[in-house]
Amino acid sequence: MAPHAAAPSTRVLIVDDSAAARAMFKVIVESDPALQVMAAVPDAYAAARAMRTELPDVILLDLELPGMDGLTFLRKIMQQHPIPVVVCSSHVGAGTEAMVSALELGAREVISKPAARNDLERQEASIRICDAIRAATETTRRRSQPEPRPLAPGPKLTADEILPARPPRPVPETTPVVCIGASTGGTEALRDVLTALPASAPPIVIVQHMPRGFTAAFARRLDSLCAIEVLEAEDEMQVMPGRAIIAQGDRHLLLRRRNQGYRVSVLDGAYVCRHRPSVDVLFRSAAQEAGANALGVIMTGMGDDGARCMAEMRAAGAETIAQNEESCVVYGMPREAVAHGGVGKVEPLDRLAARIMEFGRRQMERTAR
């Protein structure tokens, strides 16, 4: 008798008051052979009943629920059974503050509910949701093997789609700049790093994978906690000491040299490494525009976005750092950056702020000579 196929290893509980959304999520989750739907329920009370007999590995949770709202349910989960939770919501605007609250309460990831108006959007939504669910499981299991991934909707595009590659060339000494890329687990990791920086920190430009509409609230929240200024990117915004600029959700962010300093460009365009904004796009622009004046930092996240173009930064003379495996929620992007030869140093999360300040001091001393 032929052996049975291995059962899916990750059980997902879907909690959404929309029958259409539950049906869509069920199809998406079950399209991944590593995932299975444990149950799909319309409210928090039904979810609690389902969890009395079996605990899921991951909960896919909407915030707008009848009776008990999603944030209250999330708070109770984290107090009673800290199960990985992926929040998936269609709410933006004022609702983005609730998304930041969800991350602070312990949600592993926040993603936008897909519109899925055509086949391409449905395929992209499937990738984002399945990636988020597997990454939430990774948080608990702490695996170091490469993550399984579904097929991409067409070819996986590189930074060439947004910014053509060019051979490294010398860049004059000028203002230092720090470019940071992060994904799953990055919202909390970035908070740890940015809150540890003094107001004298060097200029910082950040790509954190987040959906459209969520990054403004994320930046406001960080700005309220940090000594440095934290802003959501706007086109032609000045890059300056004591300021961190975070890419808008769903738009690419590039560094542009302006005389002795930098500004940022905010661009639409194709998904790069399945992401928009893409860390690879930011890192390639840093390699070309800043060269040895830049520090590249790649942090926790699933996949390989940033790995190839961090190698370009290093080839252009930039210093480069990867967050170490032990402190990552998901050791995907840093591992791939190491594999591509782009990493000069590997550091734990609690040392990154100090390394950023040391880089800024070295660069200023170099330009003063």
Treating both helix axes as pointing N-terminal to C-terminal, what angle do 95-105 and 70-80 enclose, rounded to 10 degrees? 0
Determine which one of 32, 57, 89, 209 is catalytic: 209
Strands 109-112 and 261-267: unpaired
Determine which one of 32, 43, 131, 305 is catalytic: 305
d(CA 343, CA 295): 11
d(CA 5, CA 265): 49
Contact in structure between 206 and 229 (CB atoms under 8 Å): no
- Return phi, psi of residue 234, to 5°: -130, 150
Q: Is 91 a catalytic residue?
A: no
Query: Sign of dihedral through CA atoms 218, 66, 134, 128?
Result: negative
Residue partners of 215: CB distance under 8 A and separation at least 6: 208, 232, 246, 247, 248, 249
Q: Is 305 a catalytic residue?
A: yes
Contact in structure between 61 and 88 (CB atoms under 8 Å): yes
How is 45-99 classified by DSSP, letter by letter? HHHHHHHHH---SEEEE-S--SSS-HHHHHHHHHHH----EEEEE---TTHHHHH
Determine which one of 183, 278, 285, 327 is catalytic: 183
User: Strand order in 58-61's β-sheet?
Assistant: 35-41, 10-15, 58-61, 85-89, 109-112
Place of tokens 């609730």: 98
Give me the active site residues, please: 183, 209, 305
